[in-house]
Structure 1
Amino acid sequence: MEIGFGLVWGLVLVLVVITVFAGTKTVPQGQVWTVERFGAFTRLLNPGLNFVVPFVDRIGHRLNVQEQVLDIPEQSVITRDNATVAVDGVIYYRVLEAEKAAYQVANLPLALSTLAMTNIRAVIGGMDLDQALSSRERINTSLLVILDGATSPWGVKVSRVELRKIEPPSNLIQAMNLQMTAERERRATVMKADGEREAAIMRAEGAKRSLILAAEGRQEAAQRDATARERLAEAEAFATRAVAEAAAQGGEPALRYFIADRYVQAFGAIATAPNGRLLIVPMEAAGLAAGITQALELLRGAPPRPAAPGSVPQVGPVPPAATP
């Protein structure tokens, strides 16, 4: 009896230990478990130590409530202008309501991936190729709004959608490269033509300015020459009037002095002219010397001496007393 009684107590103890272990659940951080009683959902187990009714309650789903990353498989998408591009991406999502995520959708990752692929085809299919390649951010935003709204009944929050690749086929890439090269060459040609046009305009402006300055210089020189000629004419007129007045008052000697002075000046100009080594004197040296001597004697007030044959007429200055 004692042996049987001990065996029973041993079995009871073992059963109690098994029951305690069966009713104790330790949920790790970042997860939420669902509890089912006879197949029906009853409650959630949060991270930490939890207790359930042994042999009656069981763990239904173990859900990760951390933010997770889901790859979107690569697929071919046809754009609005019938260009084929290869597209893939990633989805960042988080389970907010574990009960809905566990029982409102079966295989949540597959459902998210399929939903994302379908909407990628819809969004990119409504764009031209150039728009799809240049509007990556707009595509991401559109997919985020669509997926977040579609997964809200599942208790899932989609926080980000990123397309990693939008790649046309190789032959289309080569055509795009050729188009880009042609466009850059066109821009270079246009810029070169604009530069040459600007340079031609600047050269024309410089030539115009140079001609204007040259014309202004010639005009100014002509004005100065006209002024000099006018002053010279005034001086000649004044000298002529003075000689005329002197001749009227002093008579023939003053006129002869004037003629002799002009003759000496003309001869000096001929002598200093750069016409080579040969100097032709149109008169005898003795006559010239005699004319100069008579002019000096007239300046000193002495009576003129008879002129030598072949010399200039004897002239002299107007006497000082005859000058007004």
Structure 2
Amino acid sequence: MGLSVFAIVLVVMAIALAFSVIKIVPQGREFTVERFGKYTRTLSPGISFLTPFVEGIGRRMNMMEQVLDVPQQEVITKDNAMVKVDAIVFIQVMSASAAAYRVDDLNYAITQLCSTNLRTVVGSMELDEVLFQRDSINSRLLTVIDAATEPWGVKVNRIEIKDLTPPVDITNAMARQMKAERERRAIITEADGEKQAAIARAEGAKQAAILEAEGRKEAAFRDAEAREREAEAEARATAMVSQAIAAGDVNAINYFVAQKYVEAFAELARSPNQKTVIVPAEMGGLVGTIAGLGELVGLAKEQQQDRRDDRQAARPAQRATTTNSPPPPQTAPRRPRGSVPGTE
């Protein structure tokens, strides 16, 4: 019985000795080793062996990046405005021995260091700068705190302002200012739109006026050309009639008289104020005039036929002269043209 108890005690002591000698360090951690209370070395991740009854584990340090929350605090800015500000800081232990033996309670020390420097940096700036220059605040804090924690074997990677809360009255004033600025921009945008619309309408009216003027110009040119051609036709007609009158043909005069008579009678019939049209009782003059026009047209056709016969007769004479053939027979004399009696 006594031997079994002694064996059990020996087994327990062996197990305890094994646990005190064999140390397994997890990834992302480092352990410091102390010999009789004095730091000797640092254990890296993996399995390590200690000298029994001489060496022991001192501090277990977290070597991964850590996030520390800086508590919210009230800070008075340079222009005497009270703001509430808090932040977060990202740190990483680079030297386990320095972080373990050069500062007591590393996280608390870094938190207090961030709080004091945050108050110093924000207090040296005006409210508008604090609200709109967070990047500048973060850069200044990072530079100062990283330099202060370097002897502790800690690297400060980032510092971010998490929240900035100005007083309620300042918040309301900022809201009114933002609303006024938005309204001002809206008014300016609306005015610019009206300006652009007015310019577009004026440009459209200008183009329309130009096109309308060009249309009137083209129409006037066409009208002038039509009037010119009409005047040329009238001039040719007048010249032909004048030649006929000079030759003693009175039917040309009858033609002009009948034309004006018919035009006047047509205008009288088309008048919107004329309800009754009175036809002259003596239509003999009009009939005679029309008959005279018919004779004039027939006489013109006869003259045209005579000219055609003369041209046909001249062509064989030219051929006979070229081939020394006997002269062609003489054409019969044209019958005398009598004058058509005029109307009374």
Whether 1:112 and 2:110 are equivalent positions in the alignment is yes
Query: Partner residue of 1:65?
Result: 63
Query: Partner residue of 2:343?
Result: 314
Q: CA deviation at 1:218?
A: 1.9
In 1, Cα distance between equivalents of 2:12 and 2:293: 167
Query: Partner residue of 1:85?
Result: 83
1:224-303, aligned counterparts within 5 Å? 224-281=222-279, 284-297=282-295, 299-300=297-298
Equivalenced residues, count: 300
1:1-324, aligned counterparts within 5 Å? 20=17, 24=21, 26=23, 28-29=25-26, 30-47=28-45, 48-54=47-53, 57=55, 59-281=57-279, 284-297=282-295, 299-300=297-298, 314=343
In 2, Cα distance between equivalents of 1:267 and 1:15: 149
In 2, Cα distance between equivalents of 1:234 and 1:262: 19
Change (3 A) 1:74 1:41: same
Gaps of 5+ in 2: 300-337
Q: Tell me the TM-score normalised to structure 1 length.
A: 0.77
Gaps of 5+ in 1: 306-312, 316-324
In 2, Cα distance between equivalents of 1:14 and 1:165: 59
**SS across alignment from 1:222:** helix
Change (3 A) 1:291 1:249: closer
Change (3 A) 1:269 1:15: closer
In 2, Cα distance between equivalents of 1:252 and 1:218: 44
Q: Tell me the TM-score normalised to structure 2 length.
A: 0.73
Q: CA deviation at 1:269?
A: 4.2
Q: CA deviation at 1:13?
A: 6.0
Q: CA deviation at 1:15?
A: 11
Q: CA deviation at 1:186?
A: 0.8
**SS across alignment from 1:221:** helix
In 1, Cα distance between equivalents of 2:253 and 2:32: 146
Q: CA deviation at 1:203?
A: 1.1
C-alpha distance after superposition, 1:200-221 (max 9, x if no partner): 1111111122222222222222
Deviates more, 1:198-207 or 1:88-97: 88-97
Does the aligned pair in 1 maintain the 2:258–2:286 contact within 8 Å?
Answer: no
Residue type of the partner of 1:197? K
Q: CA deviation at 1:293?
A: 3.4
**SS across alignment from 1:250:** coil
Does the aligned pair in 2 maintain the 1:32–1:65 contact within 8 Å?
Answer: yes
Residue type of the partner of 1:211? A
